[in-house]
Amino acid sequence: MKFGGTSVADIDRIRNVARHVKREVDAGHQVAVVTSAMAGTTNRLVEWCREAAVLHDAREYDAVVASGEQITAGLLAMTLEAMGITARSWQGWQLPIYTSEAHATARILDINGAELIARFKERNEVAVITGFQGVHRETGRITTLGRGGSDTSAVAIAAAIAAERCDIYTDVDGVYTTDPRVVPRAQRLDKIAFEEMLELASQGAKVLQVRSVELGMVHNVRIFVRSSFDKPEDIDPHATPPGTLICDEGEIMEQQVVTGIAFSKDEAQISVRRIEDKPGVAAAIFVPLAEANINVDMIVQNVSADGATTDLTFTVPAADFDRAKDTLNKAKSTIGYERVDGATDVTKVSVIGIGMRSHAGVAARAFQALAERRINIRAITTSEIKFSLLIDSAFTELAVRTLHSLYGLDKA
């Protein structure tokens, strides 16, 4: 059972979470619980780091931002004990959850599941585990898994103890066809395939961290997204509650062509104008960006008409926009271009569905619908089960709603 930030935002909510845990324990289930920090806490900790020193050591950043989860794990264990349920809190280093050394973006390497199971048996207590954090074995330093990383902690622990299910309790009652806060007519999906969820999450739907879906897919963990706001006492622990199961494609009977729409406003567009059209230019542009650890996403290049010069457009995370421009500036003489243009007021809208593999013309319908709304498309990329469009941010809501109805996803 994993509980997100809004679900543990104050003592009342933590008490509510404890009642969810009690319900499962009373029903005879053995549960491990993963907690996030209280809503807003991690943001505040990140902000403090920035205020203390703009260029800070990532090891100390992790020491600071991992602290939010320590508080909620302790508070939940206390609350459970007060309800008569034996419980103990565990931090990443105590369990231990071993990770890579990539501070702030660490990956989980190893969790000793057998040891955890033995502890369950021996002490018969609920383990309340801090999400988002682990420890690097060799240096002994605390690490964190990237924003939203508690989902990943939960799925990794579920895999390690071979849990029957990994329930992700959040502030919505499942995965919707698009963010229900933007499109009120979005519908909850009963099931979604791992591959589709992976695309939704990586294209901007923050309901699950991407890495958690990857882990679930590799280790075959049944991930179930559900609401923590449902009254614990009203739920029958033996019945299927409302929520969304992330599962194998084969388990989904009725497959729509389009399953969901995701969008991300954290994009920036860069256009390199009048570069020489010759072998090696793409490398001259993208190698320095890769070396600067800047993730390039959409790439659009034309074939020049005169065989002399062309333009190249690509996107980077908005947070890396200035660094990317700076990197290109420094490499100007080796690349050889006239100028660099850029924009940060852009949004990437992605349409996702396994059904696209076997249907033609899915994207073409979107181009037409957006044209009718006079929304200009700056760049396009496609893959087997997804296509993405870069548009002006001002049109985000209109574009998402238009595509949502176009593909028949609106709730009646």
CB of 257 to ligand ADP, least distance (A): 17
Q: Which of 7, 16, 36, 244 binds ligand ASP (CB under 6 A)?
A: 36
Q: How many residues does the chain have?
A: 412
Q: Which amino acid is located at 335 in the chain?
A: I
Using the contact rule CB under 6 A, the part of the chain among 35-43, 54-62, 169-177, 329-337 near ligand ASP is 35-43
Q: Tell how far CA 122 is from the center of its chain.
A: 35
Indicate the SS3 state at residue 248. coil
- 5 is a contact residue toward ligand ASP (CB under 6 A): yes
Pair type for strands 97-99 and 133-136: parallel
Peptide bond into 232 cis (omega under 30): no
Piece of 2-10, 14-22, 190-198, 295-303 that binds ligand ADP (CB under 6 A):
2-10
347 forms part of the interface with ligand ADP (CB under 6 A): no
Report in angstroms the alpha-carbon separations of 358 from 177, 262, 354: 20, 21, 8
Tell me whether residue 148 or residue 180 sits nearer to Mg ion (CB atom).
148
Residue 225 tokens read as 């997204």
The amino acid at residue 270 is: I
- Count CB atoms within 10 A of the CB of residue 278: 13
Which residues from 24-53 bind ligand ADP, rule CB under 6 A? Answer: 36
- 6: partner contacted, choices Mg ion, ligand ADP, ligand ASP, none (Cβ within 5-8 A by kind): ligand ADP
Single-letter code of the amino acid located at 252: I
Segment 141-180, which members bind ligand ADP (CB under 6 A)? 148, 170-172, 175-176, 178-180
Residue nearest to ligand ADP (CB): 4
**Binding map of ligand ASP across residues 85-124, x = CB under 6 A, - = no contact:** ----------------------------------------
- When asked if residue 148 is in the footprint of Mg ion (CB under 5 A), the reply is yes
Q: Which residues of 221-338 form beta strands (DSSP E)?
A: 223-227, 244-247, 260-276, 299-301, 309-317
Residues near Mg ion, by CB under 5 A: 4, 148
Residues near ligand ASP, by CB under 6 A: 4-5, 36-37, 42, 68, 131-132, 147-151
